[in-house]
Structure formats: C-alpha cells, structure tokens
Amino acid sequence: MPDRYRTLTAFVSCAAPAALIVIVLTLLQQAAPAITHYGPAFLVRSAWNPVTLDFGALPYIYGTVLTSAFAIAIALPVGLAVSLFLAEPGAQGIRGAIGTGIELLAAIPSVVYGIWALYVLAPFSLHNLETPVTQHLGFIGFVSGPPRQTSFFTASLVLAIMVLPTLSAVSRDVIRAVPRGLRESSLALGATWWETTWRVVLPTARAGIFGATILALGRALGETIAVTMVIGNRDDIPRSIFSPGYTLASKIANEFSEATGSLYPSALVELGLVLILVTLTVNLIALLLVRSTQARMAA
Amino acid sequence: MNRTLWRRFKSNTALTAIYALTGLALVPLGLVLWYTILKGVPAVSHPEFFLNVERPVGIPGSGISHAIVGTATMVGLASLVAIPVGVISGIYMAEYGHARWATWVRLSSDVLVGAPSIALGLFAYAVLVVPLHHYSALSASAALSILMLPVVIRTTESAVGLIPGGLRESGLALGLPRWRVSLQLILPAAAPGVITGCLLAVARAAGETAPLLFTAFGNPLWSIDPTHAMSALPLIVFRDALTPYQELQDQAWGAALVLVSMVLVINLASRWVLRRQIRLAGQL
C-alpha cells in the first residue's frame, strides 16, 4: 500500500526548495531587461545615472566585498576566542550564561544595531579610531583622511558585531566535536593548554572553522539595514576605508521604492540577483565544509 | 627549566587573551541594550506613545500604536503560512530523514536561512505588489513567511528527532497507522521544541526591516487592512532615525526599545520552553 502520509508530507516539504528556485527565477526574470541591455559589462562598470540610464555595479560590489571582508577580519579572532572559551570543559554555568549572551546578540534586530551604530558607534569610531589613524598613518592611501562618521569602516565594525554570534556558535560546535582522545593525548604528553589548542585542536577543526567563517561572510554580504544606516551612500570607489561608500543591499534599500521606468528598477533587481547568487553560493560552500568536518570527526 | 617556564607563560598569556576577547565580545551586547534603554525610556514613558498614531513634527502626543499593530498583523499572517508548512516539512524530514528528497529539503532550507532578506523583499514586490498595483501588508507577510520557513523546519526536525524511537515503535506496535503515530503521539511529545522554533521564527520576522521597505512600505495612519500599506516597528526605527528632528529620533529610540524588548522576551521564553522539552524528552 502506498504510504499516503509520506507522499503528503513530502509534497508539503517541497515548499523550501521551491521557494528558493522561484525566488531566483523571479529575480532573473525581473532583471532580464537590464541583463540584455547592459550585458556582462554591468558588473565591471562604475556608473549610476538614472537620468541617462547609465548603470554599472562595480562600486556596490566593491563596497559589499570590502565591508564584509573587513568585518570578518575583525570578527574572526574575537569569534575564535569566544568559541574556544565556550568549548572548554568545566564551569558550565558561566560558559552557558556567556553563550546565551552571545546568542542574544544574534537576536537583536538589524535596525536596532543600525540606530545604535548611527548615534553611538559612529561618533565613537570617528573620534577614537578614525581620527588618530588618519593623523598618524594618513600617508597610506587606504587609511587616508578625511575621516567620516558614516564610512566603510563604521559599517564593517557593526557588521563584525552582527556576524560574531554565527561565527562563534558554529566554531564552538566544530571545536566541541574534536575527539576528546586527541586533546587528552596531547595534554598527557606534556603539552600546555595553548600548544594543545594551537597544534592539535585548531588544525583538526580547521575546515569546520573555515566553514563557520564563510557562513558569517554570507551573513555579512547580505546584511542590509544596519549597513544602510552607516555606510554613507556614495556612488564611487573611494581610496580610503574611512570614506563613505555603498553596498549592493543598501543601494537597493535606498532606491528601489523610488525607481521609475523599466530599466532603472530592473538594474536594481540585477544588483539583488548578483547579491543573492553570491550569498547562496557562499552559504552552500560553507555548509558543505562544516558538515564534512563534523561527519569526519564523528567517524 | 627556563623553557618550561616560557611555555607555561605563553599558555597562560593565550588563555588570558581568550578570556579578554570573550569579555570584549560581550561589550556590544551591553552597550546596545544600555543605549536603547537609556534613549528609549523617555519616549515610552508617555502613555500616548502606545495609544496614538504618528503625528507631524511639532505636534505633541505622537505614538506608534499603528506600527505595533502592523508588526503583529504582518508577522501573524506570515506565521499562518510558515508555521504549518514548516512544521509538516520538519516532521517529514524527521520521520523519513534518510530519503534522498529529505537531504535536498534540508540543504535548501539551510541555504534559504542565509538568503539576503532584501532579495526576499524584491521577490515579494515582483510577485504581489506589481500585479496589485499598490503596496500591501500581504506582500510583506509573504516575504516574512519565506524568512520564517527554514527556521521552523530545522527546529521542528531537531525537536522531533529528540523523541526516543521507543515511543514511535510502541505506537506502531499497537497497530496505529503512521500518520496517527506522528501527529498524535510524536508531535505532542515534541510540542515544546516545535513551539521554540516558531517563537524564534516570529522573533526574527518581527525584527526584519529590509523585506518591508517596498512591500508594506509604511503608513502614518491607522490601518489593519492587509491589502493596503501598513506601518511596522522596524520601519519607524529606520525612517525616523535618519531624520534631523530630535522628536522623531526620540520616537525611533522608543520604537527600538519596544522592538528589542519584544524580541528578547520571545527569545528568552523560547529558551525556557526548549529546556523543558529536553527534560521531558529525557523522561520518555
């Protein structure tokens, strides 16, 4: 007898894969006018003029990649430290409480990070980080002045805070999955805690930690509102990280509801299409990495 | 001897650094909460804030009641779709998890969690706003339900997975059909875990701004008609925070405080429910 219950539930469970496919296809269809009109050059040109309908995505791709990469560079050491702290045995009460605190960091809505970053973090970073750095190291183009409150740098800082929970929670699970025998053998041979961690635990968990980092990168790439509030909205590729800029997501957030005609909104949807395709690919790679590490260590 | 001391010193330094960095990671949590309370309390201490709708700058007595109702309406509508679909998908994956199809569902829901929320907004705009020719709360709910779906699926799957196989086998041994075993035996046992997933999904959806920007759009007036533009708490925070008016900025902080309290209460409640589930599953 065919299992009707199984067929029915299997049918309902189509929803998630179907949603994924339909979303990508819809965006593809909506972006079609811009794709056919501008061709692949859209991705490598630097232009945004709704009056002459001259569009190119390069500044936004640059901004998205720069802010996300910088955010990961800040979040990785901190997140790794947190995950090592959380994965250690003993004192489970305090570790549990701190773990909950870090996870609550993930629950705070993006827009709340945005308003906090705009009114608290941005002035702080201008006075205490950006200004001293530009004064002393301003001769290096990448950190040259004038410093601004709304900048790639501020956006990266808030992104780093926002991806920290993902990074540390996934790394913690991977580090916890490292077989106890390995750790104990190393300690029994007389290695210190740090030598065990650095030469045994971290190398074993390497692929999984890499996966966690990429997962966090995916979050950072797609983050919209908090970045939109502090990125500064400048259609350009500035030399310095302390300059205002733009990201793919914030360009869409700021302009889509005001875009008229057919090519202008379509170009914005193409930005969204680039964003979702990159994010989904990054996520897929990360998931496969994390899973293969956990499966290998379980074996 | 010297070398041993040096190695011990290195190890202790590293350990201290790790404690220090963990402390550093908690600083933003404290600061965000502290500033939201500090700046939000003046706004929320007037009862009109919860009773009135937005008023123009300069006119006292502005409130955000319409945004609270709007958020509740949109998240509620999204839950009506996302929760049943997500729970059934989750049950399917827990019951028939080894099927090849389940692997695909699992992978796609894990990937869907990471889909940028702004892209979901673009999707809902194309599918529901363009054909209807105007912004609507309904289109925002559609975007939010896609956002909630993977969260509900994965937590349902793990909650059902926690239930010991003995319970399922006893049901089947008594001659119950598979659907009655899973819906009347397994699901009630896993209910607290499933509720956790739903609460987390609701909290996530309530805080999202990006998918609402060009679907719900926002509305300064009282509206509970889901086919028309509607306001939401995150939209108030986003728009008012970026204005130069002190009153509106205060209103944004007030709305942020309401939003954060809502989300954190839901989150802590879901943790409490989950802890009960794990204890319960241990007793079965």
CATH code at position B186: 1.10.3720.10
pLDDT band for position B284 (cuts 50, 70, 90) = low
> Is it the case that residue B143 has pLDDT exceeding 70?
yes
> Is it the case that residue B139 has pLDDT exceeding 70?
yes
Q: Which residue in chain A has the smallest CA separation from B109?
A: A16
- Percent of chain B whose pLDDT exceeds 90: 64
**How many Å apart are CA B235 and CA B227, to the nearest integer?**
18
Q: Name the stretches of chain A with pLDDT < 70.
A: 1-2
**How many Å apart are CA A104 and CA A295, to the nearest integer?**
28
Is there a single domain that holds both residue B9 and residue B131? Answer: no
User: B126 to chain A: which residues are within 8 Å by CB?
Assistant: 26-27, 29-30, 269
Q: Which tens digit of pLDDT belongs to each residue from B87-122? A: 999 999 888 877 788 888 889 999 998 899 999 999
**Residue pointed to by tokens 């601004």:** A148
Is there a single domain that holds both residue B276 and residue B190? Answer: yes
User: A29 to chain B: which residues are within 8 Å by CB?
Assistant: 126
Is there a single domain that holds both residue B158 and residue B136? Answer: yes
Is there a single domain that holds both residue B252 and residue B214? Answer: yes
Is there a single domain that holds both residue B258 and residue B279? Answer: yes
Give pLDDT, residue B126.
Answer: 94
Are the Cβ atoms of A17 and B264 closer than 8 angstroms? no
Q: What are phi and psi of B230, to 5 degrees?
A: -145, 150
Q: Which tens digit of pLDDT belongs to each residue from B8-47? A: 999 999 999 999 999 999 999 899 999 999 999 999 998 9
Q: Which residue in chain B has the smallest CA separation from A251?
A: B118
Domains of chain A: 31-252+262-298 (1.10.3720.10)
Q: Does the global pTM surpass 0.90?
A: yes
**Residue pointed to by tokens 């490598």:** A44
Is there a single domain that holds both residue B23 and residue B65? Answer: no
- Percent of chain B whose pLDDT exceeds 70: 99
The predicted model gives B128-143 an average pLDDT of 94
Is there a single domain that holds both residue B26 and residue B95? Answer: no
| Host domain of residue B168 | 49-283
**How many Å apart are CA B273 and CA A71, to the nearest integer?**
34
The total of structural domains in chain B comes to 2
**How many Å apart are CA B21 and CA B23, to the nearest integer?**
5
Largest Cα–Cα distance of chain A, in whole Å?
78
Q: Which residue, among A9, A20, A230, A280, would best test binding to B if mutated, counting the most B CBs under 10 Å from its CB?
A: A9
Is there a single domain that holds both residue B113 and residue B79? Answer: yes
Q: Which tens digit of pLDDT belongs to each residue from B200-259? A: 899 999 999 999 999 999 999 998 899 999 999 999 999 999 999 999 999 999 999 999
Q: Of A6, A108, A164, which has the smallest distance from its Cβ to B32's Cβ?
A: A108
Is there a single domain that holds both residue B107 and residue B90? Answer: yes
User: A280 to chain B: which residues are within 8 Å by CB?
Assistant: 111, 114-115
Is there a single domain that holds both residue B34 and residue B154? Answer: no
**How many Å apart are CA B18 and CA B69, to the nearest integer?**
44
Give pLDDT, residue B98.
Answer: 78
> Is it the case that residue B80 has pLDDT exceeding 60?
yes
Give pLDDT, residue A2.
Answer: 58
Is there a single domain that holds both residue B26 and residue B107? Answer: no
A290 touches chain B (CB under 8 A): no
Instruction: Mark which residues 12-71 of A lie under 8 Å from B by CB.
Output: 12-17, 19-20, 22-23, 26-27, 29-30
Which of residues B149 and A1 earns the better pLDDT score?
B149
Is there a single domain that holds both residue B181 and residue B96? Answer: yes
Mean per-residue pLDDT over chain B, rounded: 91
